[in-house]
Structure 1
Amino acid sequence: MFTDRLTVHFEKSITTSPVGFCLYWMQQSQRINYNHALAYAIELSNEYKLPLLVYFGLTDDFPEANERHYAFMLEGLNEVSKELQKRGIGFHLVKASPEVGITDYIRNAAFLVMDKGYLKIQRKWREKVIKKALTTEVLGVYELESDLIVPIGMTSVKEEYAARTIRPKIHRYLDQYALNFRMKSVIIPWSGEWFEALDNQLYPKAIHNLNPKMIDEFLESAAIDHSVKKSLYFKGGYSNALLRLHAFIEKGLPHYDEGNSPAFVVQSGLSPYLHFGQISALEIYLTLQKVKHIRNEAYNGFIEQLIVRRELAFNFVYYREGYDVFETMTNPWAYRTMGLHDDDVRPYLYDVEVLEKFATHDTYWNTAMKEMVLTGYMHNYMRMYWCKKIIEWTPNFKKAYETAIYLNNKYFIDGRDPNSYTGVAWCFGIHDRGWRERSIFGTLRYMNAQGLKRKFDMKKYIERIDKLI
């Protein structure tokens, strides 16, 4: 089950029975079910007859974080804390940057288990923690990959050029890694007077059980952007992810191959939950395999997005150091054509304030932006159109990229995600090819309002979003 998902960062020889506890630092995979890191931590704690403690470091200075992101995440962690308690596993949420707050824990831990992160900041956190652990009595540090179905290094050891190059590599290994597994129970529960004393004496600031009141208090006191309120249309947590999954299977999946039209709600709405690791792509895939009487076109279309496109996005941010910097986020041919057309006259120019108020001349774009601001979500096809128009209405390509990333990360619940960074970069040529040359865009792919009107019932889309207000 752990083959190729496990990285042993270091392991000391064990000559006597370890003391203390096994520590799992939860960060990327914020869930119980289908969490390979948690499963490995349970097996490790059982092997050495140690209790298991799950640590979560909650920083309020994560880049571009706001109330919407934190509310959704904390709603999920609320469920996690209660489920861990039922299973006899300790849970400590600490208000500190993860790599800082963990210091007091690794001093007393026998083993440290981490889930794998893919973005630069996540990888830097883990590098710092591993260095700290080397200076302590920790006997081993283990990193488990659980948020991709096929481990990233098994699919490819380099950045892939496009979906067509990574697709066969993923499908080659899919059956090998898409395996069901059952979580074991801990032998030594984190409970009793000794553990209460440990909690109170060593970790008095840790939060053991979240509740809605605590979440509200944290959101009020946190030094985060409070201008973006939590979504009224997406509530965090595994239970809500399951509700969306089953609703999608019943209503959306049968028509998924017709889902390019933003007028209809046939998409899963699972991307926010996948972003925070509140549900596993593996569980979604295994659940879909049990569904009967679904047309191949619909099933294959969703699997393409859930696995191929998503894992291509993770490949992009993992192997390209500058995935979030304009000068390094796309291909040479794209930079050449942008250089030739950077000074082209734009018929419309809008600053960020106008865009955020969805006050452009384009009703379709305004509606998409309205959906984004109100819900934290946007129909996938409109995401492409949304970004392409920012290119068209901004003085230059660099400013357009920075504006798109800023708005993306501010309003989307799944902003700051590999899929988000890749989706914006796609609008600037990554994983795409050159098209017929035109003003402003050069040979970058172009999209326009007439195309939307010709293909879809845009009036119905506008009516659907207007009802949200």
Structure 2
Amino acid sequence: MSPRQAMTPPCLLAELAAPATKRERIAVLLTSTPFYRAASAGRRLNRAAPVLAAAAATRTSFVGGHARGQLGTAVRRATTTTKPKSTREMTKKRAAQKKSGDGGEAPTIAHAPDEVIPAGFDQTRTKLLTQTVMPREKKTDMENPCIVYWMMRDCRTVDNHALLFAQGLATKYQVPLRVVFTLPPPPSSAPGEGADGSPPKPEDMSLTLRHGDFLLDGLKVVAEELEAANVPLDVLQPACRTAVGTETIRYCINRNDALALVCDMSPLRQPRDWIETQTVPHLGQQVPVYQVDAHNIVPVWRASPKREVGARTLRPKINNVFAKYCTQFAEFAGNAHLAAEKVDAENQHDWEQYRRYLRLDESIEPVVGYVAGHEAAMERFREFCSTKLKNFDSMRNDPNQDVCSNLSPWINHGQVSFQRLALEVRALKKHTNGTAAYIEEGVVRRELSDNFVYYTPSSYDSLEGAADWARDSLQLHSTDKREYVYTWKVLETGMTHDDLWNAAQLQLVREGKMHGFLRMYWAKKVLEWTVSPAYALATAQYFNDRYALDGNDPNGFVGVGWSIMGIHDMGWKERDVFGKIRFMNYAGCRRKFKVDTFVARYRGAKENANKVAPAGEKVAGKKRKSV
């Protein structure tokens, strides 16, 4: 018997012997480690036994190796003695839970009626937004009876549940399917800074050339694919942002005789306003509006009826229904149910006019290497699977290792479905740990972001969206003295005393992306070096949404929110400026990866740090060389 076995309680030896693979044995040992250290009596061992006995079931979860995180948490809870809380503390906790949606009865979701659900289509993917339930009756005096799909978030013809649902309706009622896309109207005037001098909200600004080109290039691909399927695509250019609903209603009622309107689902404030506030109340008395979540594998309203605390609470809910929803797609046939001469689908578009309409901000240029469209995304995905997946689990948090798929721009713009990626990567049946990690990030973490934004519609981008403990803690420390204070305009240029932060910012500005691990450090330093938490949040969101090609997406809002206001995190040891928000520092990054190697990739990062820090002072953990 080895020394480790001699120290291991008998019940854990049996548990270690039970798993069939080396990876499972390691998972059990890892999740048991906190227990060894905490246990001081047989009483605690017995209390943890039921948790460990449930490990076998946990290992069968689709997230594979990540089950050890759930089990470790359960063991710590079972073996940790907690002090009883005061009534006041418990009352505050219940209030916070109620405010965040943690608790209460599940809301009743109205779905599209059984009579209109295509064969093989899951009814729970749909949501009925109007009191009008059934499509209008097709009448002989209608000039252009049709089914309209309002394409918004999911800009693709392949693997699109909303488009497939609309196609099913068109086939059932023997009318043409039409697709309409609304270009986001530019603001009537340039927005100014916030009252505290913070940057303007990107949602109030024109698209950048970086984002506009990727959007229009992707839409060109959609137009070509729809024309091949004999489906017309119309592009609307509303006069202003408050006219989006009016234009959509005119399109459905005046230009066409829509029997029903189908739209996809975005939890963001602006598209929800266009659908729920501007369109549904006025169109819904005549035409039913069916919403389909074509972005998430598990529809956001089916995954959870409330805002979840974190991944640990959403993960089991997704696990329970993952197999039900992660299924193969039907094939898109377009208007194959009609004779070609009955549909005018030439799809002639003036793309230069669309670009002029958007009034793109040309100061932020496109990035090299990002070709829009579904096929381009799948080509990049296949390369990831063949060369990077095997190391994804162990190296994905090292910014110097090129092991990430970098597919988030295509996913966020709706040009590829993550459900397709999940199906393909699981079908490989190799690199188990890499596959599990990829599914965890692409399903649990991504759909957790949608959950947060969907159930926090008015405040997902402000401190009001934080949990009470985080908001109160940040407020308490908002006036703490900062060692460094920068304005957002200075930060934008990557001109700080920290060469690593500068490199991360320059990567974002120049390449339109930032490594996921660095994004956490980067955002936390914005909190540490700006005048207030609100200013920090606005600044980090501005940089992310203006420069990152995958910006203006729930994942971005939650990523910044996790770093600055503790979204989906817990309270940590209290410290100046951060309060109870998790802290990260330069030294910790040096322990994780070779910082100097990363910094050297971005010209100006080190030079800027040397310019900012006075002679003799430390430059983010290293003595500055005198100049």
Structure 2 length-normalised TM: 0.69
Q: What corresponds to 1:379 in structure 2?
A: 515
Q: How does 1:23-42 map to 2 (within 5 A)?
A: 23-42=148-167
C-alpha separation in 1, matches of 2:576 and 2:332: 60
C-alpha separation in 2, matches of 1:3 and 1:243: 32
Q: What corresponds to 2:113 in structure 1?
A: none
Q: Tell me if 1:21 matches 2:146.
A: yes
C-alpha separation in 1, matches of 2:567 and 2:343: 55
Mark the CA change 1:177 to 1:277 in structure 2 (over 3 Å): closer, same or farther: same
Does structure 2 conserve the Cα–Cα contact (< 8 Å) formed by 1:43 and 1:184?
no
Q: Tell me if 1:7 matches 2:148.
A: no
Q: How does 1:179-198 map to 2 (within 5 A)?
A: 179-185=327-333, 186-188=335-337, 192=341, 195=344
Alignment-mate amino acid for residue 500 of structure 2:
Y
How far is 1:91 from its partner?
0.7
Q: What corresponds to 1:204 in structure 2?
A: none
Q: What corresponds to 2:210 in structure 1?
A: 68
Match of 2:275 among 126, 130, 133: 126
C-alpha separation in 2, matches of 1:314 and 1:132: 27
- Superposed CA deviations along residues 27-63 of structure 1, whole A, max 9, x for unmatched, are 0111111101110111111111111110001023253
C-alpha separation in 1, matches of 2:548 and 2:185: 18
Does structure 2 conserve the Cα–Cα contact (< 8 Å) formed by 1:237 and 1:273?
yes
C-alpha separation in 2, matches of 1:209 and 1:267: 38
Does structure 1 conserve the Cα–Cα contact (< 8 Å) formed by 2:148 and 2:179?
yes
C-alpha separation in 2, matches of 1:209 and 1:430: 45
Please tell me whether Structure 1 or Structure 2 has the larger radius of gyration of its CA atoms. Answer: 2
Q: What corresponds to 2:262 in structure 1?
A: 113
Alignment-mate amino acid for residue 384 of structure 1:
M
Q: How does 1:302-381 map to 2 (within 5 A)?
A: 302-381=438-517
Q: What corresponds to 1:148 in structure 2?
A: 296
Does structure 2 conserve the Cα–Cα contact (< 8 Å) formed by 1:163 and 1:309?
yes
Match of 2:248 among 102, 116, 123: 102
Q: Tell me if 1:425 matches 2:561.
A: yes
C-alpha separation in 2, matches of 1:363 and 1:15: 65
How far is 1:460 from its partner?
2.5
Mark the CA change 1:187 to 1:298 in structure 2 (over 3 Å): closer, same or farther: closer
Q: Tell me if 1:444 matches 2:581.
A: yes
Q: Tell me if 1:402 matches 2:538.
A: yes
Unaligned runs of 5+ in 2: 1-120, 187-202, 605-627
C-alpha separation in 2, matches of 1:41 and 1:157: 25
Alignment-mate amino acid for residue 284 of structure 2:
L
C-alpha separation in 2, matches of 1:190 and 1:276: 32
Does structure 1 conserve the Cα–Cα contact (< 8 Å) formed by 2:149 and 2:178?
yes
Does structure 1 conserve the Cα–Cα contact (< 8 Å) formed by 2:158 and 2:332?
no
How far is 1:349 from its partner?
1.2
Q: What corresponds to 2:306 in structure 1?
A: 158
Alignment-mate amino acid for residue 123 of structure 1:
R
C-alpha separation in 1, matches of 2:540 and 2:122: 38
How far is 1:327 from its partner?
3.3
C-alpha separation in 2, matches of 1:416 and 1:15: 39
Q: Tell me if 1:392 matches 2:528.
A: yes
Mark the CA change 1:275 to 1:194 in structure 2 (over 3 Å): closer, same or farther: closer
C-alpha separation in 1, matches of 2:139 and 2:354: 40
Mark the CA change 1:360 to 1:217 in structure 2 (over 3 Å): closer, same or farther: farther
**SS class of match (1:227):** coil
The 10-residue stretch of structure 1 (343-352 or 123-132) with the greater mean CA deviation from structure 2: 123-132
Unaligned runs of 5+ in 1: 200-207
Does structure 1 conserve the Cα–Cα contact (< 8 Å) formed by 2:176 and 2:343?
no
Count of paired positions: 452
Q: Tell me if 1:58 matches 2:183.
A: yes
How far is 1:444 from its partner?
1.0
**SS class of match (2:388):** helix
Does structure 1 conserve the Cα–Cα contact (< 8 Å) formed by 2:263 and 2:290?
yes
Q: What corresponds to 1:169 in structure 2?
A: 317
C-alpha separation in 2, matches of 1:179 and 1:13: 28
Mark the CA change 1:16 to 1:298 in structure 2 (over 3 Å): closer, same or farther: closer
Structure 1 length-normalised TM: 0.91
- Superposed CA deviations along residues 347-400 of structure 1, whole A, max 9, x for unmatched, are 111111211111111111111111111121110001101100101110111111
Mark the CA change 1:23 to 1:326 in structure 2 (over 3 Å): closer, same or farther: closer
C-alpha separation in 1, matches of 2:473 and 2:533: 11
The 10-residue stretch of structure 1 (278-287 or 179-188) with the greater mean CA deviation from structure 2: 179-188
C-alpha separation in 1, matches of 2:566 and 2:266: 25
**SS class of match (1:22):** strand
Does structure 1 conserve the Cα–Cα contact (< 8 Å) formed by 2:452 and 2:460?
no
**SS class of match (2:147):** strand
How far is 1:227 from its partner?
1.8
**SS class of match (2:549):** coil
C-alpha separation in 2, matches of 1:297 and 1:323: 36
**SS class of match (1:195):** coil
C-alpha separation in 2, matches of 1:13 and 1:111: 5
How far is 1:72 from its partner?
0.9
Alignment-mate amino acid for residue 550 of structure 2:
D
Does structure 2 conserve the Cα–Cα contact (< 8 Å) formed by 1:25 and 1:55?
yes
**SS class of match (1:290):** helix
How far is 1:325 from its partner?
4.2
